[in-house]
Amino acid sequence: MTRRLEVVPAVDPAEMSVAVRAALSGTGPAILPREPQTEPRARHAGSTLDDGAPAQSGALALPAAAALPTEVPKNVALVVETSGSSGLPKRVALSADALLASAGATESEIGGPGQWVLALPTHYIAGMQVLIRSIVAATRPLVMPPGSFKARAFAELVDELTAELRFSSIVPAQLARLVDAAESDTGIRASLRRLDALLIGGQAVPAALFTRATDLGLKVKRTYGSSETSGGCVYDGHPIGQAVARTMAGELELAGPMLAEGYLGDEELTARKFYSDAGRRWYRTADSGEVTSGPAGMQVSVSGRLDNVIISGGIKVALDRVERVVQSFEGFQTAIVVPQPSEQWGQTAVVVTSEPFGEGTLALLQAAVTGAVGRPAAPSRIVLLDALPTLSSGKPDRLAVVRALASRA
């Protein structure tokens, strides 16, 4: 059996909430939230954090996805289009049961139902889950105004929350702006402390930034998950709800009721990423990691993407490890590390930042990375951009960065 699939522009969160409620209950069609400026789907070099909306000029087109079907399997309620920051377009099909299982697990983890500040686009799973959690809690989310993310505007919305429990979900780049503002403004700091949980996801949180946030008294929770897991399913290293984790050949795998049905129109990819073992369905994350058990239960440690590796001088280098070292330095908390070709080494790591840096900084970073990861991992240079390109989710657009560097060569 099938149901109709409807594309819903991700413009008005209130209208989107109505469509989501109908999709979850089965009284309306399945929905595919879509960023209104992407038709066909494209990746933009503009930064939503800096410019408010992805720039129309300089759009970098991704390979075209297959034609969108008009119907989907009956149990599918939501389809999320995602390309991450470096991959091909995918359409993740999610059931109402999976979405509600995720929302219920989050509610249990953060202390119960509450009211949310919506600060992320609803065509991404993190923003969509804020709507779903609000539906489950029977509360109305307060929505950040369009445009550049401003710490004061966010804090003012927090002050308007009226429920007993108050929450929000943001990405590390937004957290950095909140922390910067809270360190110098006691009013903003007091507002942010009113939140009972501030979920941080989308990418790894730099350790120094996390420490600054907790030192301010912010109740931050680092989340790990993806569209394929209906959003975050590991909080501060612990699987939530009925989620479980394991590693196979160094790759982190996840299981639980929050898993997606698969990829719409791509049976081969679905079979490659989702499989059953001893009666349990698993999702291959393509992340390296470690899972241990102890008195506090299962502990998940994610070390990086398995595909974010270069060969430098014949040695494998995990760029995620290099990036963590670089981000531990003051002024480099939002910097990223990308691969670049090298005549001498084959490939090298390059640090890209939008923050000015002083003479001798490269040598300091090279020494730190060499000590922590090894000499082949030492970055060959630092590139300063006016602004780091991001996806509309706030995550760095690594393909745009690599292409920007190539245009300078």
In this predicted model, what pLDDT tens digit does every residue of 7-47 receive, in sequence order?
999 999 999 999 999 999 999 999 999 987 644 333 332 22
Exposed / middle / buried, residue 122 (Cβ in 10 Å: 0-12, 13-18, 19+): buried
CA 240 – CA 256 distance, rounded (Å): 10
pLDDT digit string (tens) for 136-178? 999 999 999 988 899 999 999 999 999 999 999 999 989 999 9
Question: Amino acid identity, residue 364?
Answer: L
What residues form DSSP beta bridges with 33?
8
Residue with tokens 């002050």, as numbered in its chain = 159
For 314-334, write each residue's pLDDT tens digit: 888 989 899 999 999 989 988
Is the domain covering 2-301 a CATH 3.40.50.12780 domain? yes
Per DSSP, what are the bridge partners of residue 336?
Answer: 352
Structure confidence at residue 345 (pLDDT): 84
pTM of the predicted model as reported, rounded to 2 decimal places = 0.81
Residue by residue, DSSP assigns 313-352 as: TTEEEEHHHHHHHHHTSTT-TT-EEEEEEETTTEEEEEEE
At CA 65, angle to CA 284 and CA 27, rounded to 5? Answer: 80
Q: Which fold has domain 308-318+325-408?
A: GMP Synthetase; Chain A, domain 3 (3.30.300)
Q: Where are the domains of the chain?
A: 2-301, 308-318+325-408
Asked if residues 79 and 30 have their Cβ atoms less than 8 Å apart, the reply is: yes
Instruction: Write out the chain's pLDDT in tens, 409 residues.
Output: 999 999 999 999 999 999 999 999 999 999 999 987 644 333 332 223 333 333 333 333 334 456 889 999 999 999 999 865 445 679 999 999 999 999 999 999 999 999 999 999 999 999 999 999 999 999 999 999 988 899 999 999 999 999 999 999 999 989 999 999 999 999 999 999 999 999 999 888 988 899 999 999 999 999 999 999 999 999 999 999 999 999 999 899 999 999 999 999 999 999 999 999 999 999 999 999 999 998 888 999 998 888 888 889 888 898 989 999 999 998 998 899 999 998 778 899 999 999 999 999 999 999 999 999 999 999 999 999 999 988 877 788 888 898 888 877 6
- DSSP category for residue 377: G
